[in-house]
Structure 1
């Protein structure tokens, strides 16, 4: 069987932050940071390869200089998952499982990425994604953040076995009698990390399916699966110290540098 594959989609074009993958955070480009985490994940998981998917030669050159393989993809592709699929099809052997590790998510650790592959390898799910349970301080911070950025931060409802019930840019669930709930250290709210592992069959289906109603309304591509009855397994992970999972604006870059200065640099040696 062909090795599994980690794909890092990395686009130059961005309305709010052009050239994102080449922007530096504490002296290292965003792509360098994501690549280091992806390479660590491939080593931990074993039997796994990595490729950068991009439509821009500047990013391709930088990725190659960092020792990465590159798949050039069509600029018209409209999502990271579609670019991941295109890169997977370019491999010499079609992988059985594929991870889409976004090129603007430098703080998602290699261990989390490897854990998703393990979940697919050992279970029956065809799609898996990580979530973490918020303590009350982080929930309060998320609420405050959404006052000015209502579509930043995604929450997840899950059943007792970890199957996703829904994802939303709203904070779910609503909390009645919250003061009583606050006697516990953790809130009932789970936040989503924007990282997906798919079987190749699931990814094939995704790119061929039309956008769903709620996917369009919330701009959450995983809802395409949920609206069509697919099961998404959620993998609980520790609440990240560096809260930014994705970086979309110059303000996010500044926050990332502040987090590194305060908490230390998670770049793997």
Structure 2
């Protein structure tokens, strides 16, 4: 099965304009842009046939081509990464068996998350896409609950059935749990990690579906699949002691640089 990794990237982020071009220094002091580090992360995944950056901005295109990436220009009308992946796959002429969306602000995504996604999607012909979930320990859950108590939106959580088909994703903490957990204790809450592996038919159908009320309320693109009856496979992954974080705000830069230093990422 051929695998395409698409890295959607846009310049006009409302929270952090120009984010894909922000430099991040690795353990050796080398500064590389966020989009280059995301591209390098994609290239470290085994079993991938092609990696492309998908953007609507000439500055990102120039940067990507400058470090050797293949860049696909997409429309500025794409409202999220899934729509941009669908457009990029179509622009390449299709033909891939699995399309992976590695978001351009998540360069520390462990390669085994994506490898596990692809393997599980291959084994589940009834699923339109697969996405990773990570069981929260008490420290992570308590952090999510503290965020919500303070009026902040923390991580996205997921609930799924016995077949690991997603039932719902939310920026609230689900399922409800009434008791406190020790920091190292296993909890029933799963953190959703924003990486997706799609079957081409589900991906191609996605832009034609109307944005439903759940997607609109939660601001979560994957809910459009559930609202249109497509099975979303939740794949439980293991962090293996690895820290990872998305770059959402300027204050996240030093956090990511510390994490890169800890794992010796140049």
Asked if Structure 1 and Structure 2 have the same fold, meaning a TM-score greater than 0.5 normalized by the shorter chain, the answer is: yes
Question: Residue in 1 aligned with 2:10?
Answer: 11
Aligned partners of 1:228, 1:241: CA distance in 2, in Å? 35
Alignment counterpart, residue 36 of structure 1, candidates 33, 36, 40? 40
For residues 139-150 of structure 1, the aligned pairs below 5 Å read 139-147=141-149, 150=152
Cα offset, 1:146, TM superposition: 3.9
Q: Which ranges of 4 or more aligned residues in structure 1 deviate by more than 6 Å?
A: none
Aligned partner of residue 44 in structure 2, secondary structure: helix
In 2, are the aligned partners of 1:150 and 1:169 still within 8 Å (CA)? no
1:22 equivalent in alignment to 2:21: yes
Q: Give aligned pairs, total.
A: 259
Unpaired runs of 5+ in structure 2?
Answer: 26-30
| Separation (CA, whole Å) in 2 of partners of 1:136 and 1:38 | 30
CA-to-aligned-CA distance 1:205-252 (integer Å, 9 cap, x gap): 1111000111000001111111222211111111363242x2211112
Alpha-carbon distance between aligned partners in 2 of 1:49 and 1:257, rounded to the nearest angstrom: 27
* Cα displacement (A) at 1:256: 1.8
Cα distance in 2 for residues equivalent to 1:63 and 1:184 = 41
SS in 2 for 1:250: coil
TM-score by length of 1: 0.89
Q: TM-score normalized by structure 2?
A: 0.90
Which digits, 9 at most, give the CA deviation of each residue in 1:176-198, with x for residues without a partner?
3x25x659831111000001111
Unaligned runs of 5+ in 1: none
Contact map agreement 1:134 1:186 (CA 8 A) in 2: yes
More helix per residue: 1
Q: Distance in 2 between matches of 1:185 and 1:81?
A: 34
Q: Structure 2 CA distance, aligned partners of 1:90 and 1:22?
A: 24
Pair 1:57-2:58 in alignment: yes
- Residue correspondence of structure 1 range 1-269 to structure 2 within 5 A: 3-26=2-25, 27-41=31-45, 44-46=46-48, 48-124=49-125, 125-147=127-149, 150-176=152-178, 178-179=179-180, 185-239=185-239, 241-244=242-245, 246-261=246-261, 263-266=262-265
